Amino acid sequence: MHILINTHSPYFLNAIEVYSEKYDLADKCRYYLAEMEGNYSCINDVTDNVEKIYKQLARPLQDLENLRYQDGQNERI
């Protein structure tokens, strides 16, 4: 049986990693990352580098934080 799980949550992704390891299922898990390449979407296997997923999930929050502190502002908007 194959199960496909999609998430936008780094917490959920981490839970999958932790629980799959705890229950000896980590070797059965594959991790994929959807990325734009030109005008096309590509689904890439990043099982050996899951950090790429975390980096992409963190980017929108980092962009918002950068916007909050742009132009030398140190106060929250």
- Any idea which of 3-12, 20-29, 56-65, 68-77 has the lowest mean pLDDT? 68-77
Instruction: Kindly state the average pLDDT of the residues 2-15.
Output: 94
**Residue 4 pLDDT:** 92
Confidence (pLDDT) at 73: 64
pTM equals: 0.77
Q: Give mean pLDDT, residues 59-64.
A: 87
Pairing of strands 32-37, 40-45: antiparallel
Residues 14-55 have pLDDT tens digits of: 999 999 999 999 999 999 999 999 999 999 999 999 999 999
